[in-house]
Amino acid sequence: MELPDNQLFIMFKRDLELEKNWGKLLEGLRETIGKKPADLNGVLFLIGVQELGKGNKIFSKEQKQDLMHIAICKVLSYAGFYELDFTDQDGWPHWKLTKDLPRFDLLDQEKLLKLQILEYFEREYQIIIE
């Protein structure tokens, strides 16, 4: 099924706006922490560290993956996909899936995460990027 030109234009415009806002977020993070995250994974890592609340320390490779999982669950919780289940004895949060995630291709998964990360910074830190 082919989309009409006006729908393609709207989708293209929405994607451009997302990327513009994403760039502004990365620049804002550079100003705040002194280093611009290289990519989506870098931002997820920062969110995971923040949500864990143990400060900046040395993490193992497995812990870094866990931090990114914490971040993904946190940002997707705003869309109702996850909710906090419990925090273990070491202070690590554990999340449970509350509704099935949409079956997106890799590009659409990235767009969803970027949108939810922008919402995270808006809700948690009142940083509105427009």
Give 4's pLDDT tier (boundaries 50, 70, 90): low
Taking residues 26-48, report their average pLDDT.
94
pLDDT value at residue 45: 96
Instruction: Assign 25 to helix, strand or coil.
Output: helix
3 pLDDT more than 60: no
Between the alpha carbon of residue 111 and those of residues 7, 55, 70, 93, 97, the distances in Å are 18, 28, 18, 25, 20
Model-level pTM? 0.88
Tens-digit pLDDT profile for residues 68-109 = 999 999 999 999 999 999 999 999 999 999 999 999 999 999
